[in-house]
Structure 1
């Protein structure tokens, strides 16, 4: 019998999953319905750096990171900050974050992350081919920049992880070598690592809209609705929205930073927090950017978006309710102007978005404890775009009662 699946959340994870699942269900008369209160790519999927960061294997919680915790409160404009008004509320999450940084947990997280990234790279290529999306990709590699020999040496754990997992890279040991890949940078950057297989989309919002168009063409539907509750019943799962009730055979929760609120309605308290990301997008012609660039010590990146430059990143663990602190975006832009002396910073557009973050940097992908017809797909932190196609394949396999391409137990909600 044909079934109906409702996917809550029309960001890149939700849309990717909807597209993958609709492609499978359509021949049998099945139906996938996307629900979102604001429409397609209305949150973090619109304003991110557009990067497919398959080469980034290290979690945020690395051994020794908690030694830096006091500084987070003292520097509200630093690369990793906690607003004082939110510090007490964040404490339980930080305790889990600290536990995730222990050597035993760290190594298991890296192993799981590497398996998901490996699948993500292959799944993304399948998604690009399936939707004829190659024209929206920029395959220009990525530079990670360091300001001293000591800083470069301190980064070697991450580069060793890449080597262990077969990721290609090369090193540069002078400003002149760096300039061969990306001219126009300050000579303060003396060392760099370059990953040639890194890629970006030219516009993350347009990419999600492209996937959504393919979803509609295959028979999918979108409904604008604010989901309030999930109710389990013998006949299926009922999605309670403002003024309506929608029945589904199966449900996928892919609502990004708001997902834990729905999980809570099913009796699960998942430690999802919000990485508030800030950026400024500058128009075309502002700088000759030839590759994705990460300023490692400063925790931000510059990427090419619609021919212009997007300057953003850093992590502010501040929840969903505090007012944006756009001084963070201004600080990043000021640094970018110093690090890229030819950058024209006029006519920039600022943005702040909510990235759903779990303390061990792994997403939740798998069934809810109370009702296996509800599948969670959230908590990807700053790599939601990167891992979206892989998540779509895994969720589809779970919904279709098939074996998954990788072991999904490290991503289960029960790990908390």
Structure 2
């Protein structure tokens, strides 16, 4: 990790980061470590969105894009259940249709293979950079290495998942398949309806994602960075950098990092860029810490949700609702997952839970947008990480810092180009 050489912020900062989630604050800190003065702007403040409500996993083993061969054959079955793993409200279907077309095109075997390689590279970079970053930010004590157990209800469901495990094996990911008895030893209290499992020891987690992001914010402030609550409306390239237009007025910066999560595409439109970012609305319920003696995170893949152990409690959440930014939450989805969790973990106490809904920013090929804006190389995009924002945060921050300081990035950036969708639909 580069030694911090930052000086007090100038009236015109080297970098303004738009977004105070885990991506934006990680990028801000990496830039600060390179000696740049940084200001972060966010419409709600640090850890207000998906960075606070996620499952807390550094899912480095999750290299397979959601846009995959055969996925469209499964979609009708999922969509038939309005509270199932995938939901699209009928009134939103026409809005999501162009995104779904791109998603279908991204699921071809060739594009799936290329996206898997790119996602593996970014996950590997993120894992390689993680512990040094946590040490530099004073958050290493929050890291857990308990692993993750994925469970199956039948021989057929397990066999259907084997191609994905073979792909992970080809990329060097460690796992082992377990019998029902072995699962019971690893995680007592799991329903006997689950007959097969796969355990990934390389799955890390953070004690609590909200506490982690707030700690990053405090570390940035301690290093001289500024964090302000302000909603950015537009970006305008200038001869000397970038003009940022916000509710608080207009200001200048030499560089801008756009990391506003699910709201990023709205700001990118001010630059003449139409990036097909969609919102996966995720739901969860966080139960008190004593609700269940959870040893490892459990993924119920056939039902689209996970149960994870945080310092703040037991979190039951996941699923995908493609419904944009403006529709009201449908907390029946959180209730449906909790009801299933009590059946799958018979000892789980479902009382006194706190419900949450948040926005996951997702692009059709399951890869984030990381790279310069077409409007100006002084503007760097860093958004669209879907389910892997926490996982890929430190790797993304490393790439952003390299772009800001003119260094060669350690992995190819072409697969993450913000302009790649123009080529996809040509």
Report the TM-score range of the alignment, normalised by the length of the smaller protein.
over 0.9
* Contact in 1 for aligned 2:131/2:140 (Cα 8 Å): no
User: What does residue range 134-173 of structure 1 map to in structure 2 within 5 Å?
Assistant: 134-173=140-179
* Contact in 2 for aligned 1:365/1:375 (Cα 8 Å): yes
Secondary structure of the structure 2 residue equivalent to 1:77: coil
Aligned to 2:282: 277
Aligned to 1:18: 28
CA displacement 1:233-289 (0-9 Å, x = unmatched): 112211001141110000000000000011111001000000000000000111000
User: What does residue range 1-400 of structure 1 map to in structure 2 within 5 Å?
Assistant: 4-25=14-35, 30-174=36-180, 176-306=181-311, 308-400=313-405
* Contact in 2 for aligned 1:73/1:83 (Cα 8 Å): no
Secondary structure of the structure 1 residue equivalent to 2:419: helix
- CA-atom RMSD, angstroms? 1.2
Shifted more, 195-204 versus 383-392: the winner is 195-204
Runs of 4+ in 1 over 6 A off after TM superposition: none
Secondary structure of the structure 2 residue equivalent to 1:413: coil
* Contact in 2 for aligned 1:137/1:202 (Cα 8 Å): yes
Shift of 1:162: 1.5
Give the length in aligned residue pairs: 411
* Contact in 1 for aligned 2:231/2:248 (Cα 8 Å): no
Task: Give, in whole Å, the separation in 2 of the partners of 1:134 and 1:269.
Answer: 38
* Contact in 2 for aligned 1:40/1:209 (Cα 8 Å): yes
Task: Give, in whole Å, the separation in 2 of the partners of 1:243 and 1:134.
Answer: 36
- Unpaired runs of 5+ residues, structure 2, are 1-6, 422-426
Task: Give, in whole Å, the separation in 2 of the partners of 1:248 and 1:109.
Answer: 33
Secondary structure of the structure 2 residue equivalent to 1:366: strand
Shift of 1:307: 5.2
TM-score by length of 1: 0.97
- Unpaired runs of 5+ residues, structure 1, are none
Secondary structure of the structure 2 residue equivalent to 1:228: strand
CA displacement 1:33-53 (0-9 Å, x = unmatched): 000011001000010000000
